[in-house]
Structure 1
Amino acid sequence: MELNYEFFYQWTTKNLKLNLDGYKETQLQRRIATSMKNAGAETLEEYADVIKANPEAKQKFLDYITINVTDFFRNKDIFEEFEEQLISELLPKFPSLKIWSAACSTGAEAYSIAMILAKHQVKLQNKILATDIDETILQKARVGVYNEYELKNLEYNLRDKYFQEKDGKYEVNKSIKHTVEFKRHDLISDDYPKNYHVIVCRNVMIYFKNEVKNDIYRKISDSLVPGGLYFAGATETIYNPTQYNLTKVTSFIYQKDA
């Protein structure tokens, strides 16, 4: 039986504020069909009813489709390169910074950046802006409580310094939590904030169609100040960064041209 994906795309846009048109079609439809079957639905019309009636089913769908996977200091060696560029390139030029962590998922990446800033006593113009399309995941990020597995890449000295342990869970302490502001944002549909010195957007571009990726790269570049840095994911090389007014400075870090 052929599934009515066109109906489902329109339904998610209207009811979940989730624009699926920009995702790679084959990969997306495979994930939707799997999620539908796991929910016990036989058609996408039936699956839409399940999602509408069951908050748990809705969240499982959003988690599966929008790939809510992240870690503290994910790809540690690349994060060290990011820290080096931040300190050596940006701080001599800009006395205070504006930083945006896009597609931030559960907040681990934004809090990782906040720990780096605290280590080097970096001044911020505003709180770190951390955005994601999934409001439920953003609420988890705001709470800032993680289990031990979610902290698997975090050095023990950072866990001891920046987290409070309670009943086997770890909560980000207030000094770090208060430097981050979480908001909903759709990279495909929404307007982009401006005048940022750093934009971190990792491990999400691989799910988008090429024309959507091109548009997002242009908008990211437009959101950076000249000399600002874009920190990409470990599988997200930009093959012709000059078309976006960007220059590659390390494997996954790009600088906006003056």
Structure 2
Amino acid sequence: MSNDYYKFIHFINRKTGIDLSLYKEAQMKRRLTSLYEKKGFTSFMEFFESLSKNEALLEEFLDRMTINVSEFYRNEKRWEVLQHKILPVLLKENKKLKVWSAACSTGEEPYSLAMVLSQLVRSSQVSILATDIDQNAIDKAKIGLYGERALAEIPPVVRREFFTDQGVFYKVSDEIKRLVDFRQQNLLNDLFDKQFDLIVCRNVMIYFTEEAKDKLYRKFSESLRHGGILFVGSTEHIFNPSKYELESVDTFFYRKLSSSS
């Protein structure tokens, strides 16, 4: 079984550029075994043979491989810290912030950022890059339709201002959608832009190996300007931030140290 799996991840890397060896093996193997068994396959290699010939199955595989669980204002108290403590300091330093939502899933996180920022500055001062490995997730994000559950933690005043009721769904306002630029990106392989004021990457690192996490924290640090902030998820404390030229400024918020620090 293991040898079968390792051959599978090697072939997938060659076909798609996605390195599954950087994801925690037990979790990924469980997820993919469940998928191929459901489709009637008996091994990883039999599954790969079919993936090579069936574009729709490959799309489904890529969608299953990525983890698209998200909601607006996830862990609401952290968003309050972002709005009232972190962003005012950043806005004193730059009137227009360079912001990136990394592994943005179906758009709840970057749209939350856009809503928070639009309450602090004019929309002309807001521009957010949002990236994810899963093109299907990005396509859903661009549509901007969400069920009730995704909106559970949104403050009522924000919900009223930025959403319209569409029956069983809620639609993000065009004003907010215009502030976010969605692009496909592989965090582990692709180059990052530089000089971000704020990078948000939450509840993604838990799926990666320690080696992959280390690589990503280094890349994020290099992409922040001095004084810029990295905002991580509630299970993703960085236990030795100085290793990445970062310092903790609040729970789950880390500032890039200046060279003189």
The verdict on a shared fold, with TM-score over 0.5 as the criterion, is yes
Q: Who is 2:194 aligned against?
A: 194
Specify whether residues 125 and 245 from structure 1 end up closer, same or farther in structure 2 by C-alpha distance, changes over 3 A only.
farther
Contact 1:132/1:186, CA 8 A, preserved across alignment: yes
Contact 2:249/2:255, CA 8 A, preserved across alignment: yes
Contact 1:98/1:125, CA 8 A, preserved across alignment: no
Moved more, 162-171 or 59-68: 59-68
Distance of 1:7 and 1:210 partners within structure 2: 22
Gapped regions of structure 1 (runs ≥ 5): none
Q: Who is 1:152 aligned against?
A: 152
- Secondary structure class of the residue paired with 1:92: helix
Specify whether residues 117 and 21 from structure 1 end up closer, same or farther in structure 2 by C-alpha distance, changes over 3 A only.
same
Specify whether residues 257 and 124 from structure 1 end up closer, same or farther in structure 2 by C-alpha distance, changes over 3 A only.
farther
Specify whether residues 45 and 237 from structure 1 end up closer, same or farther in structure 2 by C-alpha distance, changes over 3 A only.
same
Q: Within 5 A, what are the aligned runs for 1:75-90?
A: 75-90=75-90
- Secondary structure class of the residue paired with 1:238: coil
Structure 2-normalised TM-score?
0.91
Deviation sequence 1:86-137 (CA, Å, 0-9, x none): 3332111122100000000000000000000111115666720000000111
Distance of 2:137 and 2:5 partners within structure 1: 25
Gapped regions of structure 2 (runs ≥ 5): none
Structure 1-normalised TM-score?
0.92
Q: Who is 1:212 aligned against?
A: 212
User: Partner letter of residue 53 of structure 1?
Assistant: N
Say whether residues 1:73 and 2:84 are aligned partners. no
Distance of 1:3 and 1:171 partners within structure 2: 46
How far the C-alpha of 1:60 sits from its partner, in A, is 4.2
Q: What's the Cα RMSD here?
A: 1.9
- Secondary structure class of the residue paired with 1:199: strand
Q: Within 5 A, what are the aligned runs for 1:40-119?
A: 40-51=40-51, 52-53=53-54, 55=56, 57-119=57-119
Deviation sequence 1:213-241 (CA, Å, 0-9, x none): 11110110000000000000000000100
Distance of 2:88 and 2:77 partners within structure 1: 17
Distance of 2:244 and 2:24 partners within structure 1: 22
Specify whether residues 247 and 124 from structure 1 end up closer, same or farther in structure 2 by C-alpha distance, changes over 3 A only.
farther
State percent identity of aligned pairs. Answer: 39
